[in-house]
Structure 1
Amino acid sequence: MTARPGDMDSAAIDRAAGVLRGGGLVAFPTETVYGLGANAADGAAVARVFQVKGRPPSHPLIVHLGGAGQLGDWVEEVPATARLLAERFWPGPLTLVLRRGRRVPLEATGGLETVAVRVPAHPVALALLAAFGGGIAAPSANRFGSVSPTTAGHVRAELGDAVDVVLDGGPCQVGVESTIVDATGEALSILRPGGVTREDLEAALGRQLAVPVTSHVRVPGQHPSHYAPRARVVLVAPEKVVAEAELAQESGHRVGVLLPPAFADTEVKAHAVVAVPASIPAYARGLYAFLRELDQRGCDLIIASPPAEQGLGTAIANRLRRAAGPRPAA
């Protein structure tokens, strides 16, 4: 069942909440990407999320809450710095990693004693959380490692009838996943860049944050190959995108190009070209749809260039690097 924006009355939300209470799966919109949700307190329902996605059970999920006031129900303690960030950025695209409370099954944490939590900034997600009354464990609503969905159509195209209900809240407004911060102690660190920028976090805290290359805390999005289309992704410097694309096209590839804004007026001999918006927020909003479009147009190779790593550009660059990462052997 798919509930579309015009049908999104309280009855549709209540039906979806009932599905969650019964151990079913609901795909729902957030400001970042669409999530594949299950009752976070139901280990069997959470296990079904992993099964539908083909996600390794060691990869933790994010527990979505209706408000910061529910934190005490799901975590062991809330350090002062974590509370400050929650007050500043929730609802919003920030995930905090804290010590797991007893209510959280280990299925949702990948066996860890930490849990990732956030409050989404989307009216449909918040209405669902309010109607359900509990936490919703939800990764992105797609097959593990593939391009995240930013529309309800993406969810249905990839997961089909494996999802009991899809709530259609329109296109996601941020377009890349939440920023994940390890807040288990006073020395906070960014484990995944996302919709809240490092600069904004540091301004709120009044100090710099570490961005470790590796971490003992496992969180979503750390797999070497992630957010990946079917086509292989190759990253080059902006000024080399056109030449690399044309060379690969001449070599027999069906090349897709994410054309940097500085070269928007350049004619490229390639199978398909998508002009990247000059606005970084617009690029983030469209990134996953662009990758899906190039897949749908039959490309087997995508040439792209990461934007400058500042602000939201850091998250886009991270997703492109993961998309270009080494893939497991078929």
Structure 2
Amino acid sequence: MISQDINQAKQLLEEMELIAIPTETVYGLAGNAWEEEAIKKIFELKKRPLKNPLIVHISSLDKLDQVAYDIPQAAYQLAKRFWPGPLTLVLKKLPHISNLITAGKDTVAVRVPNHPLTLSLLNQLDFPLVAPSANPFGSISPTSSPHVEKYFKNDLPLILEGGECEKGIESTIVGFDEESRAIIYRLGSLSMEEIESCIGKVNLLNHNDQNPEAPGMLSKHYSPKTPLIVSEDMENSLLSFHEKAIGLLLFKKANKNNPNLIQEILSPTGNLSEAAKNLYAAMHRLDQKGLSLIIAEKLPNEGIGIVLNDRLARASKFE
């Protein structure tokens, strides 16, 4: 059921049920972070590998000491600047945090989401929420309630309706080394430039399939069922695959040489933030067209465009 009933959401979560919640990044599959039964349900429903940690969602910076300790000063600086918002911090976990959440690591990923409904819900709960994206593991992230319903219509008692996600791309994840120097584990809605404007120079870690330090670090991710390739030369790619039923994922201009092809334009004005908001929704639409191939145009590799190209590259990795 899709609804804005926060009281029902609260009751279901207290009864160890899972629900879908809106955030500014993507919709999350939420459960009680203090209860292993709920945490296990999330892994089972998503078919998510246990080696892949979850993000704990709290209502405010004041609640951070309920999940983490020995918090670096740079973490506080980032949280004060960007929370509520698309920033996840990886910090030393307190002993009561389930090893299921952290994939057995001694760190926990935590953030304050920026959505009025979900913040209101978190403020009414006596526990934080674990909430990975509300999709089967490896699939396209959901940025609207219909996306979640498509995946989990018969599995969730409630999808909390929060409209389309404002950002449309996952949070940026920042951790710290033994000297409290910041490391970006995953680039997301918050750019490297924004992070560095707050705390100075940071390092960027590469994908890690074997032992991911944080959520979203696996090299294949965010993928449609339809095979997808990324092209820097669209006309040449179209010549190579002319016999296939093709859909195009384009930045700002339609491909006028092939008007009969199904085409999704991410931002007619060439705005990368608008493209980010529309990326997953466009991928969902193309994925439902019965195509044999999606060709995605590589985006300008600057600002949030770097993140969008990363998501497209990971979506294009074939099994």
Give 1:259's aligned residue.
250
Residue of 16, 25, 34 corresponding to 2:18: 25
**1:270, 1:320 → 2: CA distance?**
24
- Which of residues 273, 281, 285 is equivalent to 2:263? 273
| Aligned ranges 1:41-120 → 2 under 5 Å | 41-120=34-113
The alpha-carbon deviation at position 209 of structure 1 amounts to 1.1
Matching residue's letter, 1:202: E
Aligned to 2:149: 156
- Which 4+ runs in 1 deviate beyond 6 A? none
**Within-5 A mapping of 1:215-294:** 218-237=213-232, 240-248=233-241, 250-251=242-243, 253-261=244-252, 263-264=253-254, 266-268=256-258, 271-277=261-267, 278-294=270-286
Answering whether residue 299 of structure 2 is matched by residue 304 of structure 1, we say no
Distance 1:96 1:132 in 2: 21
User: Residues 197-247 of structure 1, C-alpha deviation per residue, up to 9 Å, x if partnerless?
Assistant: 100110111x2211122566522222221000011111121xx11331243
Distance 2:177 2:162 in 1: 33
- Does 1:199 pair with 2:193? yes
Which piece of structure 1 moves more, 270-279 or 47-56?
270-279
Instruction: Give 3-state SS (helix, strand or coil) of 2:69's partner.
Output: coil
* Secondary structure of residue in 1 paired with 2:76: helix
Segments of structure 1 that go 5 or more residues without pairing to the other structure are none
Q: How far did residue 260 of structure 1 move?
A: 3.2
Alignment check: 8 A CA contact 1:32 1:172 kept: yes
- Give the unaligned 5+ runs of structure 2: none
What secondary structure, in the 3-state scheme, does the structure 2 residue paired with 1:284 have? helix
Deviation at 1:270, TM superposition (A): 5.8
Report deviation, 1:266.
2.7
Q: Which has the higher helix share?
A: 1
State which of 123, 133, 143 in structure 1 corresponds to 2:136: 143
Letter in 2 for 1:187: R
Q: Aligned match of 1:209 in 188, 202, 212?
A: 202
Instruction: Give the whole-Å Cα distance in 2 for the aligned partners of 1:56 and 1:129.
Output: 26
Change (3 A) 1:142 1:217: closer
Contact persistence 1:242–1:268 (CA under 8 A): no
SS at match of 1:161: coil
Task: Tell me if structure 1 keeps the 8 A contact 2:18–2:30.
Answer: yes
Provide Cα deviations, 1:174-201, integer angstroms capped at 9, x if missing partner.
Answer: 0000000113542111111101110011
Give 1:3-18 correspondences, 5 Å limit. 3=3, 8=4, 12-18=5-11
3-state SS of 2:154 partner: helix
Corresponding letter in the other structure for 2:273: P
Separation of aligned partners in 2, 1:220 and 1:203: 24
CA distance, structure 2, for counterparts of residue 260 and residue 141 of structure 1: 26
Distance across 1 between alignment mates of 2:37 and 2:260: 47
Which residues in structure 2 correspond to 1:157-196 (within 5 Å)? 157-183=150-176, 185=178, 186-196=180-190
Is the 2:186–2:205 contact (alpha carbons within 8 Å) kept by the matching residues of 1? no
Q: Secondary structure at the match of 1:258?
A: strand
TM-score normalized with structure 1 length: 0.91
Alpha-carbon distance in 2 for matches of 1:22, 1:218: 31
Is 2:176–2:182's contact at 8 Å kept on the other side of the alignment?
yes
1:235 touches 1:321 (CA, 8 Å); kept in 2?
A: yes
**Residues 131-190 of structure 1: CA deviation (Å, up to 9, x unaligned):** 113210000000000000001111011111211211010000100000001135421111
Q: Distance in 2 between matches of 1:110 and 1:270?
A: 47
The percentage of aligned residue pairs carrying the same residue is 35
Aligned letter for 1:291? M
**C-alpha separation between the residues in 2 aligned to 1:152 and 1:287?**
16
Tell me how far apart the structure 1 counterparts of residues 157 and 101 of structure 2 sit (CA, whole Å). Answer: 19
